[in-house]
Chain A
Amino acid sequence: MWRFIGRRLLYAVPILLGVSIIIFALVQLAPGDVTDILIPPEAPKEVADILRHKFGLDRPVYEQYFIWLGNLLQGDLGVSIFTNQPVGSELASALSNTLMLAIPAAFLGFTLGAVLGVLAAFFRGGWLDKLFSGIAIAGVSLPHYWVGIVLVAIFAVTLNVLPAQGMGPEDGDVWDSLRHLILPVITLSLIPMGVISRLVRASVLEILSQEFISALSAKGMARRRILFHIVKNAAPPTLAVMGLQFGYLLGGSILVETVYNWPGSGGLMNLAIFRRDVPVLSSTILVLAGIFVAINILVDVLQALIDPRLRR
């Protein structure tokens, strides 16, 4: 098992290197640079050149890449060209805001999705199955921001029981902060809920059709124990998709963040794109990619712990 984990970690190195090259190249490919935004178009060309030199943008591309990478390896994510703030601190604050939504949204979506999926499979073809399938499909297909707006209209505007937007005052109490979480968390949980419930339904149905389920009944196992067998068999594929879904949540959703005025990682990247803020953009994407890879390693390890056939 330790060797398995070691190998997975080793694989991550070339993956992340490749990702860093791709990110850097893509950011470079985008037309224009930060000087287009910082300086009015009528300013003399020399001003732009001075700025480019200051930010190192006049160096050869590969040099810029290695400087960036070298700094990253020392834990230095660079400095925002636009705000002059260290990228690390901007990212930390945006990412922690996103996590504040992503973790409860994942928890809610995954739990609800798994329960609905198992029940739909057990009552295959019945009205419960149809109802849950409808919920799941609505969850993945309704536009996020639209659901957000509708929820705000209902709970904040009409009923006036929950705040419409924001994270609440800095010095507000815990209860107040929690109330600000409710609507965005529900909105973000819809896609994971829908995706997981469809997947769980399909894998439970597949498991139920297998001989070992009959064999478990043939040895008189209790219903609860049979359910445990089903869950353990359904877990590996479900965990894989949960890992992906959680990764997407960490990327933040610019639309949902906008609807709820929530300063998360989606907004940070969006702003960086419009400002051509290369250090913020590339470092943020790379850190997110790193987290994504880490989640996938964790999922691989969990899968292998559950299903011995995957330990290779």
Chain B
Amino acid sequence: MNRQTLQADAPLSATAATPLLSVKDLAVRFATREGVVEAVNGVNFNLARGEVLGILGESGSGKSVSLRAIMGILPRGRTTVTGSINFDGHELLSMPEKELDRLRGPEIAMIFQEPMTALDPVFTVGEQIAETIVRHEGVDWSTANARAKNFLEMVRIPSPERRLQAYPHEMSGGMRQRAMIALALSCKPKLLLADEPTTALDVTVQIQIILLLRELQRELGMAVIFVTHDVGVASEISDAVAVMYGGRYMEHGPAENVLLAPNHPYTHGLMNSTVHGSMRGQRLDTIPGLPPDLANLPKGCPFAARCGHAIPECEQGGIALSAVGKNHFSACLRVEKEGRSFFA
């Protein structure tokens, strides 16, 4: 496979029927001293071109790990990744590192939670953007620098010429995240993976970054997987929302369905425990109990122990996502058995 085939015309394959990204039975395990950590346990979803999927979930639910599995940047050796990740006709999990490097950057890009640690402290921001362009577009450094400047302009960093020479520690958190976005977009990827890109930022800056991302996403028509634990952020940017718990999708569907009419008891609990504008004045209910120990997962529904609606069968297992509406899925045994949502 060479670069030509990788850059094969999108329109040919860009029919509604073929998703850009198709993830099947994705599972990730880490061998650790404490035992095997089952971080991701059978995730399935499709992502269409230009679609924005928001992944919601408490910390430790496997959101970052599933993004890193797609990117192929999990630590080697003690990590086992199984299932299938098909991106635009390429099976990523069986792809050799060298070929993967031709996709990472120009086809799939990622932005991280902490731009301070995700940028190399001893290289200027300009060098870090330009090296990506040099690598993937085969242009010389001066052309790459000029393009880097355009991208800084695009993410609205003031005086971009000067900022190219700046080191990460010389920028504010918001500026750094803008620079990180410029870097991720510098080779016009079809898919952007965003791992809580606003969590480390001040609230006002968070909103600016969200709006910027949404605008750029529309302008460039790229698909985005946006991980967050903030329901408000998810509703702001997502077309579809997946709710993750114990390394699985508990509910997955169009954003307005999942967020406004949650079907799964966990989603419902999550919504009730979130401070968010439309619910002002309402009582905040936290979900009792703790997330499951991933080194020691129960065999049934991972949420059963904390669920107010659990029945004995919930502990038995064999619970999968099932359709509860158009493109709307929920992994709840009682919803499936009784054919109704508790919260309608």
**Which one of B131-139, B285-293, B304-312 is at the interface?**
B131-139
Q: A212-B118, A215-B112 are in contact. Are A229 and B123 (CB under 8 A)?
A: yes
Complex Cα distance A307/B170, Å? 12
Interface size class of B (residues with CB under 8 A): 20 to 34
A217 to B169, CA, bound (A): 21
- Stretch with Cβ within 8 A of B (4 or more), from A7-15, A145-153, A220-228: A220-228
- What is the 8 Å Cβ interface bit string for chain B, positions 121-137, against chain A (1 contact, 0 not)? 11100000001100110
Contact check, A222 vs B71: say whether CB atoms are below 8 A apart.
no
Interchain CB contact under 8 A, A219 and B132: yes
Residue B24 lies at the interface, judged by CB distance under 8 Å to chain A: no
Q: Are B104 and A218 in contact (CB under 8 A)?
A: yes
Interface centre among A217, A219, A225 (most CB of B within 10 A): A219
Residues on B with beta carbons closer than 8 Å to the beta carbon of A217: 71-73, 101, 104
A60 within 8 A of B: no
* A211 contacts the other chain (CB 8 A): yes
A219: chain B residues at CB < 8 Å are 104-105, 109-110, 132, 135, 183-184
Partner of B136, one of A220, A233, A306: A220
Tell me the chain B residues, 46-90 only, with Cβ under 8 Å from chain A: 68, 71-73
Residues of chain B within 8 A (CB-CB) of A233 are 120-122
Chain B nearest Cβ from A312, distance in angstroms: 12
Contact B135 A221 (CB under 8 A): yes
Interface residues in A225-253 (C-beta closer than 8 Å to B): 225, 229, 232-233
Least Cβ distance of A104 to chain B in Å?
30
Cα A210 to Cα B112 with chains together (Å): 12
Residues of B close to A218: CB separation below 8 A: 71, 73, 104-105, 109-110
Chain A residues in 8 Å Cβ range of B122: 232-233, 306-308
Write the residues of chain A forming the contact surface with B, with a CB cutoff of 8 angstroms.
210-212, 214-222, 225, 229, 232-233, 306-309
Measured CA separation A220–B187 after assembly (Å) = 11
Alpha-carbon distance between A26 and B171 when the two chains are bound, in angstroms: 50
Q: B106–A220 contact, CB under 8 A?
A: yes
Is chain A's binding surface mostly helix, strand, loop or mixed? helix
Taking CB atoms, residues of chain A closer than 8 Å to B106 are 220
Alpha-carbon separation in the docked complex, A212 to B117 (Å): 6
Asked whether any CB of chain A lies closer than 8 Å to the CB of B119, the reply is yes
A sample of 9 inter-chain contacts (CB < 8 A) reads: A211-B114, A214-B73, A215-B118, A215-B119, A217-B72, A219-B105, A221-B131, A222-B135, A307-B121
Chain A residue nearest in CB terms to B67: A218
- Extra 19 A-B pairs, beta carbons < 8 Å, given A221-B131, A232-B122, A232-B123: A211-B112, A211-B114, A211-B118, A212-B121, A214-B112, A215-B112, A215-B118, A217-B71, A217-B73, A218-B73, A218-B104, A218-B109, A219-B104, A219-B132, A220-B106, A222-B101, A222-B135, A233-B120, A308-B167
**Residue of B122, B123, B167 ringed by the most chain A CB atoms within 10 A:** B122
B311 to chain A, nearest CB (A): 42
Q: Is the CB of B73 within 8 A of A212?
A: no
7 closest Cβ pairs, A-B complex: A220-B104, A220-B105, A220-B101, A211-B117, A215-B118, A218-B110, A219-B105
Decide: A216 and B120 in contact? CB cutoff 8 A.
Answer: yes
Interfacial chain A residues near B110, Cβ < 8 Å: 215, 218-219
Residues of B within 8 A of A309 (CB): 121, 167, 169
Give every chain A residue within 8 A of B105 (Cβ-Cβ): 218-221
Within 111-169 of B, Cβ neighbours of A (below 8 Å) are at 112, 114, 117-123, 131-132, 135-136, 167, 169
CA A211 – CA B110 in complex, angstroms?
12
Instruction: Please report which residues of chain B, range 168-215, place their CB below 8 angstroms from some CB of chain A when the two chains form the complex.
Output: 169-170, 183-184
Q: Which residues of B contact A211 (CB under 8 A)?
A: 112, 114, 117-118
Which A residues are in CB contact (< 8 Å) with B112? 211, 214-215
Task: Tell me the complex Cα distance, A216–B118, Å.
Answer: 9
Cβ of B250 under 8 Å from chain A: no
| Contact call A220/B167, Cβ cutoff below 8 A | no
CA distance A229 to B120 in the complex (A): 8
The answer to whether A210 and B104 touch across the interface, beta carbons within 8 angstroms, is: no
Q: Is B103 an interface residue (CB 8 A)?
A: yes
The chain A residue with its CB closest to the CB of B100 is: A220
A219 and B110 alpha carbons, distance in the complex (Å): 8
Bound complex: CA of A222 vs CA of B110, how far in Å?
Answer: 17
